[in-house]
């Protein structure tokens, strides 16, 4: 098929590679504009662009897609189908109707669960035991289109959002390939809004640890909020990112949530809500590198009784 591929991050690259391996003609690749990154704020190309350029694909990076110019350009491709994987923008109606066989999205959840921008993160944060990948025809309402194929996977007990995303990217590529190969035989299944849950875009405020919650909830947030905004707390007006931790039941009746109850060697334990506590394993002080708790304890003198906020 003649396909326009639309995607931006590393998670979209396996799907583009799979389409090429399956012999489809990629007539255009649409991706987000280059953006400043790193300490020097130099322009950085999105991973899909980098991959596409290796194979001489035609790359398009419009700043806006709701202009008449963008709509005309997209229609001019005369595509059989558009494959969309984490493109990063909601497509206007003119885009959806342009390809002969419509637009198919690879979404990283078991729709109608976790519609929205951050399904992988919220599945971990909310303590789901499983998630998966869905291919669907795109409609104007967000992530509401008819389902084509789905595949589920268990979420690892200690799996972070980037780790899970990496796995789902590979699964998504496989499911997309199977979807296109079977497209004539698949009967799309409508979604029911009553069963939908939502995964809104993360914001910086989501990262602030609420120590009054139980430690198991906090630990899931630490894994689910990576790679941004990350789970963080404050001590003496300095931000401390927590990268890894373990939760446990603990009877600590004389401490308040956020209070340090152990701080020596490999131990940095913080009281959480209920009868629980969190053992920090890897942290990152403000303006410093990630480090083990032992290294952190050697350089920072947190005392038992200090409170993280």
Domain boundary among 146, 172, 192: 192
Q: Report yes or no: 220 and 210 within 8 Å, Cβ to Cβ.
A: no
Domain boundary among 192, 218, 240: 192
Residuewise pLDDT in 10s, the chain (309 residues)? 999 999 999 999 999 999 999 999 999 999 999 998 877 778 999 999 999 999 999 999 999 999 999 999 999 999 999 999 999 999 999 999 999 999 999 999 999 999 999 999 999 999 999 999 999 999 999 999 999 999 999 999 999 999 999 999 999 999 999 999 999 999 999 999 999 999 999 999 999 999 999 999 999 999 999 999 999 999 888 999 999 999 999 988 899 999 999 999 999 999 999 999 999 999 999 999 999 999 999 988 789 999 999
pLDDT value of position 223: 98
Pick from 294, 258, 293: nearest CA to 273 = 258
Same domain, 237 and 282: yes
pLDDT value of position 204: 96
Domain boundary among 192, 223, 238: 192
Tell me, yes or no, whether 198 lies in a domain: no
Residue 270 pairs in a beta bridge with 260, 278
From CA 74, how far away is CA 79, in angstroms rounded?
9
Same domain, 137 and 259: no
Tell me, yes or no, whether 66 lies in a domain: yes
pLDDT value of position 236: 85
Tell me, yes or no, whether 271 lies in a domain: yes
Per DSSP, the three-state class of 52 is helix
Same domain, 49 and 155: yes
225: containing domain: 204-299
Same domain, 258 and 170: no
Q: Report yes or no: 304 and 261 within 8 Å, Cβ to Cβ.
A: yes
From CA 282, how far away is CA 302, in angstroms rounded?
15
Same domain, 161 and 221: no
Confirm whether pTM is higher than 0.75.
Answer: yes
User: H helices within the chain, ranges in order?
Assistant: 13-21, 47-54, 68-76, 93-97, 119-125, 161-181, 215-224, 293-299
pLDDT value of position 39: 74
Same domain, 212 and 285: yes
Pick from 163, 123, 126, 128: nearest CA to 243 = 163
Q: Report yes or no: 298 and 267 within 8 Å, Cβ to Cβ.
A: no
Same domain, 217 and 172: no
pLDDT value of position 86: 98
Same domain, 173 and 45: yes
Same domain, 211 and 90: no
* Cβ neighbour number for residue 261 with a 10 Å cutoff: 16
From CA 265, how far away is CA 250, in angstroms rounded?
20
Instruction: State residue 56 phi and psi, 5-degree precision.
Output: 70, 25
Same domain, 29 and 80: yes
| DSSP-derived secondary structure letter, 154 | E
Tell me, yes or no, whether 245 lies in a domain: yes
Number of domains in the chain: 2
Same domain, 49 and 144: yes
Tell me, yes or no, whether 306 lies in a domain: no
Residue 291 pairs in a beta bridge with 283
pLDDT value of position 3: 98
Q: Report yes or no: 15 and 172 within 8 Å, Cβ to Cβ.
A: yes
């Amino acid at each position: 098929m003649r396909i326009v591929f639309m995607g931006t991050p590393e998670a979209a690259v396996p799907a583009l590679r799979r389409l090429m391996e399956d012999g489809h003609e990629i007539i255009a690749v649409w991706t987000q504009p280059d953006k400043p990154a790193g300490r020097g704020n130099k322009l950085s190309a999105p991973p899909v662009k980098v991959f596409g350029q290796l194979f001489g694909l035609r790359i398009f990076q419009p700043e806006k897609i709701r202009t008449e110019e963008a709509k005309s350009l997209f229609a001019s491709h005369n595509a059989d189908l558009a494959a969309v994987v984490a493109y990063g923008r909601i497509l206007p109606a003119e885009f959806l109707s342009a390809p002969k066989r419509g637009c198919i999205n690879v979404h990283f959840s078991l729709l109608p669960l976790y519609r929205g921008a951050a399904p992988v993160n919220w599945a971990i944060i909310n303590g789901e035991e499983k998630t998966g990948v869905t291919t669907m025809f795109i409609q104007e309402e967000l992530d509401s289109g008819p389902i084509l194929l789905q595949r589920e996977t268990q979420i690892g007990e200690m799996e972070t959002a980037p780790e899970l995303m990496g796995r789902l990217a590979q699964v998504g590529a496989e499911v997309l390939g199977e979807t296109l190969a079977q497209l004539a035989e698949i009967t799309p299944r409508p979604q029911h809004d009553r069963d939908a849950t939502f995964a809104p875009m993360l914001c910086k405020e989501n990262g602030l640890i609420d120590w009054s919650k139980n430690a198991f909830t906090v630990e899931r947030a630490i894994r689910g909020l990576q790679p941004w905004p990350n789970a963080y707390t404050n001590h003496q007006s300095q931000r401390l990112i927590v990268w890894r931790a373990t939760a446990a039941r603990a009877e600590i009746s004389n401490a308040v949530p956020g209070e340090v109850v152990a701080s020596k060697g490999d131990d940095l334990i913080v009281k959480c809500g209920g009868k629980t506590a969190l053992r920090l394993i890897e942290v990152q002080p403000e303006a410093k590198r990630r480090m083990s708790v032992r290294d952190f304890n050697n350089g920072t003198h947190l005392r038992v009784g200090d409170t993280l906020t």
